[in-house]
Structure 1
Amino acid sequence: MRFRFRVFSLLSVLLFCFGSLAAQETTVMVRALAKDAKFIGSSIGGAKIIVRNAETGAILDQGFTSGSTGDTKLILKTPQERYGSLTDEETAGFKAELDITEPIFIEIEAHAPFNKKQTRVVSSTQLWVIPGKNITGDGVVLEVPGFVVDILSPQTHERIKSSEVVSLKANIVMMCGCPVTEGGTWDANQYEVKAILAAEGKESREIALKPTDKASTFEAETSLDKGYYTITVYAFDPVTGNTGVDKTNIIIN
């Protein structure tokens, strides 16, 4: 009888222990915030979020941030106080759901903006997550520096006669897709936008692109001698250090 009681007691203890190790779904809200701008969400295709076990590299969850870029006044024009929030229910984010049985050290990556390969960067951080202890609200916010730069003209591999004017045009937006305009929240006059014109056997030239009446659009005109040219357009903000680049190739004949 005592033996049966001991076996029963041992089984009870084992069941209790195994029960305590059952996986608990734990939520971690992850957001990507463009440097000097707003959150990266649906309007620009989102940021790809990958949550890994930092020790093994195993992916625990992944997906894309979705939602709005957030409240401009709250994010950029309101002094931040301790424990204050930068987000609301509509602000872009990705809710990672982790099934974990014990505290785990994780690494979170934001690849953003994901749909713009020439400008996509990776921002990451690491932290401990405890089973059942959700990280919500603003959650984990990863800063994403830079500009999205798209060369609009000339087109890739376009052939242009040396006697013709070469039109240089580029679209510049913040990493969240927010527009750049003269005198706006993101002031086009604050940024340095230039084209580097390079061809084999020729000295490289730089030409400044100026803002136009159309939001986020910068342009200039030039003439070029015959050759195969690589055109590099960059944007630089001397205040924040944000940078962005796009390249294309053309033929002058």
Structure 2
Amino acid sequence: MKLSITRLFFLLSIFIFTGLNAQQTSVMVRAKAKDAKFIGSSIGGAKIYIKNAETGEILAEGLTTGSTGNTDKIMNSPWKRNEDLSEENTAGFLANIDIDEPVFVTVEAHAPINKKQATVISSTQLWLIPGKDITGDGVVLEVPGFVVDILSPQTHERIPETNEVQIMANIVLMCGCPVTEGGIWDANQYEVKALISSEGEQIQELEMTVGEKPSTFSAKKNLNAGLYGITVYAFDPVTGNTGVDKTNIIIN
């Protein structure tokens, strides 16, 4: 019994000593869409993971929440060294991690987390040092791409052969920023096409044009009876941003 009590006190002393030496270290992590704004609450956020790079242990995880940021500051104003692009309400995830020695970590952003066909992983690595907070803009991970959602036709929709197939897609930046003619994210800069395939072979390529409703592109086509796959892609030749969505339909 004495040995058990002695061992218990020994373990408690180690725990207390370790706890006293551990320091809370704050790390702000933000996900920023390439050529656009921060990924926040309006599109469901980015899922952030901070992991011990050696062991893979997750030290912190959470969602970026808040606004996409100040459009004029981010997109129109010249950037100066050491000047934050973020503001108080700009989307981010603040992690508070207790560490007692420097830890080399991997920081990942899975974004936008609620759009699975568009979600990509952006990551970086850095050292965290006990008590040395990383705040302000913090760790900013760039997330390239477009979110492409095919609105019409619906998945596995049956369409009479006599009907024209209306292909419609919604296309936004990874932060949810809208695509419009002549806007900050100019629809005329982007290549948007629908690829129609049957039995695994591409048979049609249609140019999609922007409509009156922001971020909406469409094309029309008559198809013979059969099974078809439709792929819609968006491509920005200036930044290299890309995005894709797919669906399947039946013409009968």
Question: What TM-score comes out, normalization by structure 2 length?
Answer: 0.92
Q: Distance in 1 between matches of 2:144 and 2:211?
A: 24
Residue 103 of structure 2 corresponds to residue 104 of structure 1: yes
Specify the SS of the correspondent of 1:122.
Answer: strand
Specify the SS of the correspondent of 1:73.
Answer: helix
In the TM superposition, structure 1's runs of 4+ consecutive aligned residues that sit over 6 Å from their partners are none
1:19 deviates by 6.7
Corresponding letter in the other structure for 1:130: I
1:81 deviates by 1.1
Corresponding letter in the other structure for 2:170: N
Asked whether the 8 Å contact 1:48–1:114 carries over to 2, the reply is yes
Corresponding letter in the other structure for 2:126: L
Q: Distance in 1 between matches of 2:88 and 2:227?
A: 51
Q: Distance in 2 between matches of 1:215 and 1:20?
A: 54
* CA 1:20–1:158: 2 relative to 1, 3 Å: closer
Q: Distance in 1 between matches of 2:84 and 2:185?
A: 22
Residue by residue over 1:144-185, the C-alpha shift from the partner in whole angstroms, topping out at 9 and shown as x without a partner, is 000000000000000011111000000000100011100001
Asked whether the 8 Å contact 2:190–2:237 carries over to 1, the reply is yes
Trace 1:156-235 onto structure 2 (pairs within 5 A).
156-200=155-199, 203-235=202-234
Asked whether the 8 Å contact 1:194–1:233 carries over to 2, the reply is yes
Other-structure match for 2:5: none
Other-structure match for 2:236: 237
* CA 1:218–1:201: 2 relative to 1, 3 Å: closer
Give the stretch that moved more between structures: 193-202 or 53-62: 193-202
Other-structure match for 2:35: 36
1:204 deviates by 2.1
Specify the SS of the correspondent of 1:204.
Answer: strand
Other-structure match for 2:134: 135
Trace 1:88-103 onto structure 2 (pairs within 5 A).
88-103=87-102
1:203 deviates by 4.7
* CA 1:52–1:182: 2 relative to 1, 3 Å: same
Other-structure match for 1:72: 71
Other-structure match for 1:3: none
Specify the SS of the correspondent of 2:21.
Answer: coil
Other-structure match for 1:4: none
Residue by residue over 1:100-150, the C-alpha shift from the partner in whole angstroms, topping out at 9 and shown as x without a partner, is 000000000000000000000000000001000000000000000000000
1:28 deviates by 0.4
Q: Distance in 1 between matches of 2:131 and 2:105?
A: 15
1:97 deviates by 1.0
Q: Distance in 2 between matches of 1:222 and 1:170?
A: 15
* CA 1:31–1:168: 2 relative to 1, 3 Å: same
Q: Distance in 2 between matches of 1:144 and 1:30?
A: 13
Other-structure match for 1:11: none
Corresponding letter in the other structure for 1:176: C
Q: Distance in 1 between matches of 2:103 and 2:162?
A: 65
Q: Distance in 2 between matches of 1:103 and 1:198?
A: 54
RMSD: 1.6
Corresponding letter in the other structure for 1:197: I
Other-structure match for 2:120: 121
* CA 1:205–1:96: 2 relative to 1, 3 Å: same
Corresponding letter in the other structure for 1:208: E
Residue by residue over 1:31-69, the C-alpha shift from the partner in whole angstroms, topping out at 9 and shown as x without a partner, is 000000000000000000000000000000000000000
Q: Distance in 1 between matches of 2:82 and 2:49?
A: 26
Asked whether the 8 Å contact 2:211–2:217 carries over to 1, the reply is yes
Other-structure match for 2:245: 246
Specify the SS of the correspondent of 2:75.
Answer: helix
Specify the SS of the correspondent of 1:225.
Answer: coil
Q: Distance in 1 between matches of 2:210 and 2:85?
A: 31
Asked whether the 8 Å contact 1:21–1:102 carries over to 2, the reply is no
Q: Distance in 2 between matches of 1:120 and 1:153?
A: 21
Question: Where does the alignment leave 5 or more consecutive residues of structure 1 unmatched?
Answer: 1-13
Asked whether the 8 Å contact 2:233–2:242 carries over to 1, the reply is yes
